A and B are shown apart, each in its own frame.
Chain A
């Protein structure tokens, strides 16, 4: 009888649920004790919230690139963080030139447009050639090979830009329209954060409409579903894969400028951590799923901003903000264990890659 029982019960499942429950109760307990202790006022929470949304919308933009590439190629484009870095790092020099010629002060909107466009152009070019040179010859190779290639490309691009532009951390010039804050109902809201959120939302809407409403978008979705069938229907698979990289590159280039404006820094390594985070966001949303990646990004941004204070402070953990990345990664692992298709779970991701 015991033998029968042992053969049939999945012990690992039980262990996993126990761990999950423990974490959940820790989070709940931490939140309750934080709130009861009243360490933070409502204004703090609004600050956390808006910062989280701004940060999350940048993650969301980068995450769309990861998720679309995963959709069409079933590979993790590890070098996407560098695509994200290359644009704003190059556009920094454009910004400085515009600033030195007073153009940026006189025509700030046009100036910003130029910066955005140049950043997007560079990121797009890098993404396009990355696919063409490094990934295209590897179609059909075993799964590990493109992943290593992507890692290699990531190092190469990082250190190429280090060599080209130097190792210093640069800051975009200050712009009057982006500094300062607005008072809304007695709460101070930083202008730059609002701009970041609005710009990201606009870009995401544009991107999503492109994918859902245009012919090219439809073709990309077809390639994500089934490359061979798409090719039989007369879709140029290579062309659509290139287009995917181009769109991902554009989103990353735009996200990069927003990041540079918000955090006031560009340097060769700036793509790594946001890249990893965006990737987490893509997984949270269900990799391969575009709206999922967007929501995942926002969610991750929020959790990272609110989480340390809310969950950890109440548990008596010192310097909880240091652990914000740990929260992000724990969430990643938990999602992978309990809901591998992501919060927006889509059929596509259930398929074996």
Chain B
């Protein structure tokens, strides 16, 4: 390896990764379709912003990875990375002008080329693209040399513009429902993108909060910790109270669409908390968990729907049967896999999940389960004669379910059963040698998880009003496993965060619908590589010194909900 190569290696290597990434997002059509939306009105489109993110992050990484101490070499490496990142799309444009790539890559259109070269034809456009790459690289290089606090404030400010720009369609309707806030909304947003005022105000606002927390946050935390336990408790209680009021009014603040998203997230929280007991606590990797969701849903559907007609119970009468059915199925499917470990367990449960789905789908069981057409006309649930039909109303039912399940989860976690599950997760043989009955402990985990899942299924069908076998494919199971792990395995708040991130966000960013699975996959891989412990890892329960406090877990329940 020559000296020159070793000097610029990081820049070229990292730049190539960036270039390939830019090429990929261009060719899958993300750049073009995002370009219809502006982050900053008439100035910066989402597509271009997206490319710039790559153009800045990768040179920054290149600078960070450069091992040579000389500052100019670090800076030039960042510059090189920016340039190399731009070279790839530049080559695409050149190649695309010579031959028609469109017969293979459906998104390699002139519109894309036009975008990449800022609308300038010929060599000029290519040069602009390369220059933009160098500028991004230079920016990243400068960023690298700034002192830590200033750098992170700049990053937070830029991210806030990007984030607000992306979710502006959700923020605007929120504001407009509040009367006076509409004026603020008009000041900050246009119909498409932030106004100049918004572009200046939002990052300043967010940056100021961030800086305040960075400078004063530690002080506040220590002040809180030095408060006497009585005051701490009342602070906790009052925050619990505020949270409760917030949760009660949430659907009315959010409006119809967001409430719908909220109910979907809620159902996944129920599912996630159930699987968290099986996977997170007991360490039994269950990939067929969707089966219990389906069982709960179908039992509720059969018992309530006049379309089947054998029974026409109300939701509340059917619910215990659905949950009991789920628990029973959990035990039944648990018995065969009692002696399996690790991957084998995962495969066997995956097999079970698929078998159940295929059976439900088949013509063979169609007279009872409706086959591919499913079961329709399932009545909505009612509370004291109040028919819950809109998402804003169903929300309360789901909230109730979530609180119940969080409560049970916390209680179980801090009990002998929770400890037995975790011991089993850590080392099954030793757990048994410490007196834990593996059969009953495992079955109890399966049964509890299945019960939660069936509860979720029953609520789901009564919300939607119909049930189809296609809603119960293996991706649901995988999605739930992923949300647990992304949230932080074994952690109750982690499940909630994970459900919001993996289920809520994709629902919110509907424009991204075509790319949500792509991003989802990339995020999963990235999470596992960079932060495998999850977004909100499980905190171990402090027991030796705080063991006597009985009130502690109620407040935990509250903060977790």
Q: Residue A352 contacts which of B104, B339, B341, B352 (CB distance < 8 angstroms)?
A: B341
State in angstroms the CA–CA spacing of A320 and B28 once bound together. Answer: 40
Q: Is A165 on the interface with B (CB-CB < 8 A)?
A: yes
The minimal Cβ–Cβ distance linking B182 to chain A, given in whole angstroms, is 38
Determine if A152 and B524 form an interchain contact, defined as CB atoms under 8 angstroms apart: yes
Q: Is B351 on the interface with A (CB-CB < 8 A)?
A: yes
Determine if B485 and A148 form an interchain contact, defined as CB atoms under 8 angstroms apart: yes
Q: Residue A163 contacts which of B30, B338, B485 (CB distance < 8 angstroms)?
A: B30
The prevalent SS among residues of B at the interface is helix
For B485, the chain A residues whose CB sits under 8 A away are 144-145, 148
Determine if A152 and B522 form an interchain contact, defined as CB atoms under 8 angstroms apart: yes
The minimal Cβ–Cβ distance linking A195 to chain B, given in whole angstroms, is 27
Q: Is B122 on the interface with A (CB-CB < 8 A)?
A: no
Q: Mark B500-529, 1 if CB is under 8 A from A, else 0.
A: 000000000000001101101111110111
State in angstroms the CA–CA spacing of A260 and B406 once bound together. Answer: 48
Q: Is A16 on the interface with B (CB-CB < 8 A)?
A: yes
Determine if A155 and B518 form an interchain contact, defined as CB atoms under 8 angstroms apart: yes
28 contacts between A and B (CB under 8 A): A75-B343, A93-B104, A134-B525, A138-B528, A141-B532, A143-B285, A144-B485, A148-B482, A151-B482, A152-B528, A153-B524, A154-B521, A155-B521, A156-B525, A159-B515, A163-B28, A164-B27, A164-B28, A164-B107, A280-B351, A318-B363, A319-B364, A322-B361, A322-B363, A325-B354, A326-B359, A332-B351, A337-B340
Q: Residue B343 contacts which of A96, A143, A152 (CB distance < 8 angstroms)?
A: A143
Q: Check A149/B340 contact, CB under 8 A, given A144-B285, A156-B521, A157-B521.
A: no
Interface size class of B (residues with CB under 8 A): 35 or more
Q: Mark A306-322, 1 if CB is under 8 A from B, else 0.
A: 00000000000111101
Determine if A326 and B105 form an interchain contact, defined as CB atoms under 8 angstroms apart: no
State in angstroms the CA–CA spacing of A165 and B520 once bound together. Answer: 19
Top 9 A-B residue pairs of the complex, sorted by shortest distance between their CB atoms: A163-B28, A152-B524, A156-B521, A155-B521, A159-B518, A329-B351, A166-B106, A319-B363, A152-B525
Q: Is B222 on the interface with A (CB-CB < 8 A)?
A: no
Which residue of chain B has its CB nearest to the CB of A332? B351
The minimal Cβ–Cβ distance linking B456 to chain A, given in whole angstroms, is 21
The prevalent SS among residues of A at the interface is helix
Q: Check A152/B107 contact, CB under 8 A, given A163-B29, A318-B363.
A: no
Q: Check A153/B521 contact, CB under 8 A, given A160-B24, A319-B362.
A: yes
Interface residues of A in 33-84 (CB under 8 A from B): 74-76
Determine if A326 and B348 form an interchain contact, defined as CB atoms under 8 angstroms apart: no
The minimal Cβ–Cβ distance linking A265 to chain B, given in whole angstroms, is 17
Determine if A148 and B335 form an interchain contact, defined as CB atoms under 8 angstroms apart: no
Q: Is A147 on the interface with B (CB-CB < 8 A)?
A: yes
Determine if A333 and B28 form an interchain contact, defined as CB atoms under 8 angstroms apart: no
State in angstroms the CA–CA spacing of A137 and B518 once bound together. Answer: 21
Q: Is B355 on the interface with A (CB-CB < 8 A)?
A: yes
Determine if A163 and B518 form an interchain contact, defined as CB atoms under 8 angstroms apart: yes
The minimal Cβ–Cβ distance linking B555 to chain A, given in whole angstroms, is 30
The minimal Cβ–Cβ distance linking B479 to chain A, given in whole angstroms, is 9
State in angstroms the CA–CA spacing of A206 and B338 once bound together. Answer: 40
Q: Is A231 on the interface with B (CB-CB < 8 A)?
A: no
Q: Is B358 on the interface with A (CB-CB < 8 A)?
A: yes
Q: Is A345 on the interface with B (CB-CB < 8 A)?
A: no
Q: Is B147 on the interface with A (CB-CB < 8 A)?
A: no
Determine if B340 and A163 form an interchain contact, defined as CB atoms under 8 angstroms apart: no
For A279, the chain B residues whose CB sits under 8 A away are 347
State in angstroms the CA–CA spacing of A152 and B107 once bound together. Answer: 24
Determine if A148 and B528 form an interchain contact, defined as CB atoms under 8 angstroms apart: yes
Q: Residue B517 contacts which of A155, A280, A283, A325 (CB distance < 8 angstroms)?
A: A155
